[in-house]
Amino acid sequence: MAAQASDSLINFGLFGHHGAGKTSLAEAILYTSKAIGRLGTVEESTTVMDFEPEEKQHKMSLSSGFFHFNWKKQELNLLDTPGESNFFADARGCMQAVETAVVVVDGVDSFKVNAEKSLVLSKELNLSRALVINRLDKDRADFDRVFADAVNLGKELGITFVPVTLPIGAGANLEGMVDLVAMQAYGFKPGDSGELEKRELPESASKYRDKLVEAVAETDDALTEKYLEAGDLTAEELTGGLRQGIVSGLLAPVFATAATNNWGTPLFLDYIAEFFPKPTEKQHVLKVDGDNVVPLEGKEGDPFCGLVVKTLVDPYAGHLSVLRVFAGHLDHASTVYNSNRRHKERVGNILRLKGDKQDTIPSCGFGDIVALPKLKSTATGDTLCDEKQHLQLKSLPPTPGVIAFVIRPKTKGEEDKVGQGLHRLQEEDPTLVLGRDEQTKEVLVTGMGQMHVEITVEKLKRKFGVEVELQTPKVPYRETINGTTKIQGKYKKQTGGRGQYGDCWLELAPLVRGKGFEFVNKIVGGAIPRQYIPAVEKGIVEAMQNGAMAGYPVVDVKVTLYDGSYHDVDSSEMAFKIAGSMAFKKGVLEAKPVLLEPVMHVEITVPEENMGDVMGDINSRRGRVLGMEQKGHTQLIRAQVPMAEVLTYAPDLKSMTAGRGSFIMEFDHYDQLPAHLKEKVVAASQKDRATDES
Task: State residue 663's pLDDT score.
Answer: 82
pLDDT digits (tens, 9 = 90+) for 314-371: 666 678 999 999 988 899 889 999 999 999 999 989 999 999 899 999 999 999 999 9
What does the alpha-carbon distance between residue 242 and residue 276 come to, in Å, rounded to a whole number?
10
Supply the mean pLDDT for the chain: 90
pLDDT digits (tens, 9 = 90+) for 153-163: 999 899 999 99
Task: State residue 86's pLDDT score.
Answer: 85
Tell which wins on pLDDT, 364 or 654: 364
Task: State residue 450's pLDDT score.
Answer: 80
Provide the pLDDT confidence category of residue 3 given band limits of 50, 70 and 90: very low
Tell which wins on pLDDT, 296 or 517: 517
Backbone torsions φ then ψ of 548, nearest 5 degrees = -70, -20
Catalogue all structural domains in the chain, each as residue range(s) with its CATH number: 2-281 (3.40.50.300), 286-393 (2.40.30.10), 403-471 (3.30.70.870), 479-591 (3.30.230.10), 597-676 (3.30.70.240)
Burial 271-304 (b: 16+ CB within 10 A, else e): bbbebbbbbbbbebbbbbeeeeeeebebeeebeb
pLDDT at 285 over 70: no
pLDDT digits (tens, 9 = 90+) for 678-693: 989 998 888 877 766 6
Task: State residue 77's pLDDT score.
Answer: 98
pLDDT digits (tens, 9 = 90+) for 195-242: 667 888 888 999 999 999 999 999 988 999 988 888 888 899 999 999
pLDDT digits (tens, 9 = 90+) for 23-55: 999 999 999 999 999 988 888 888 999 988 888
Contacting residues for 590 by C-beta, under 8 A, at least 6 apart: 483, 485, 487
Q: Is 584 helix (H, G, I), strand (E, B) or coil?
A: helix
What does the alpha-carbon distance between residue 275 and residue 247 come to, in Å, rounded to a whole number?
8
- Residues 77/94, Cβ–Cβ less than 8 Å: no
Task: State residue 672's pLDDT score.
Answer: 94
Provide the pLDDT confidence category of residue 4 given band limits of 50, 70 and 90: very low
Does the pTM exceed 0.85?
A: no
Contacting residues for 533 by C-beta, under 8 A, at least 6 apart: 521, 523, 561
- Residues 95/121, Cβ–Cβ less than 8 Å: yes
Task: State residue 692's pLDDT score.
Answer: 63
When pLDDT is averaged across residues 366-379 and rounded to a whole number, the result is: 93
When pLDDT is averaged across residues 561-588 and rounded to a whole number, the result is: 95
Task: State residue 141's pLDDT score.
Answer: 94
Contacting residues for 11 by C-beta, under 8 A, at least 6 apart: 76, 77, 79, 97, 98, 99, 100, 279, 324, 367, 369
pLDDT at 284 over 80: no
What does the alpha-carbon distance between residue 351 and residue 310 come to, in Å, rounded to a whole number?
14
Q: Identify any residues that bridge with 358 across adjacent strands, giving them in sequence order.
A: 353
Provide the pLDDT confidence category of residue 1 given band limits of 50, 70 and 90: very low
Task: State residue 194's pLDDT score.
Answer: 62
